[in-house]
Amino acid sequence: MKMPTLSRLDLRQRIDALPRINIACIPTPMQEAHNLSNELGVRILIKREDLTGLAMGGNKVRHMDFCMADAIQKGADVSLNVNPWMSNNARIIGAASRRVGLDYINVAPASKSRPIQGNLLIQDIIGTDMHMLDTSEPSEVNEYVDKLETKLVEQGRTVYNHIKEHMSRSSATIAYMEATLEIDEQLKKFDIAGNIEMFIASGGAHGGLMLASQALTLPWTVHGVLVGKPEESYADVVTWSNNALNHLGFSERLTWGDVEQLDKYIGPGYAKPGQDCIEAIRMVAELEGVLLDPVYTGKVMAAIIDYAKDNRFTEEDTVIFMHTGGLPELFDFADELKRRDYT
Domain boundary among 118, 148, 165: 165
Task: Please indicate, yes or no, whether residues 308 and 251 belong to a single structural domain of this protein.
Answer: yes
Question: Residue range 232-257: average pLDDT?
Answer: 89
Residue 231 pLDDT level (bands cut at 50, 70, 90): confident
Count of domains observed in the chain = 2
Percent of the chain with pLDDT over 90: 92
Distance CA 195, CA 213 (A): 12
Mean model confidence pLDDT for the chain: 96
Distance CA 292, CA 8 (A): 32
* Ramachandran angles phi, psi of 147, nearest 5°: -65, -40
Task: Please indicate, yes or no, whether residues 72 and 51 belong to a single structural domain of this protein.
Answer: no
Tell me, what's the pLDDT at 230?
A: 79
Task: Please indicate, yes or no, whether residues 136 and 70 belong to a single structural domain of this protein.
Answer: yes
Tell me, what's the pLDDT at 194?
A: 81
Distance CA 163, CA 321 (A): 29
Tell me, what's the pLDDT at 172?
A: 97
pLDDT at 233 over 80: no
Task: Please indicate, yes or no, whether residues 213 and 279 belong to a single structural domain of this protein.
Answer: yes
Nearest to 177 by CA among 207, 219, 220, 198: 207
Tell me, what's the pLDDT at 129?
A: 98
Tens-place pLDDT, residues 187-200: 999 989 789 999 99
Tell me, what's the pLDDT at 257?
A: 87
Task: Please indicate, yes or no, whether residues 54 and 82 belong to a single structural domain of this protein.
Answer: no
The pTM (predicted TM-score) of the whole model is: 0.96
Task: Please indicate, yes or no, whether residues 65 and 52 belong to a single structural domain of this protein.
Answer: no
Task: Please indicate, yes or no, whether residues 289 and 180 belong to a single structural domain of this protein.
Answer: yes
Task: State the residue range of the domain holding 126.
Answer: 60-165
Distance CA 171, CA 241 (A): 9
Task: Please indicate, yes or no, whether residues 283 and 310 belong to a single structural domain of this protein.
Answer: yes
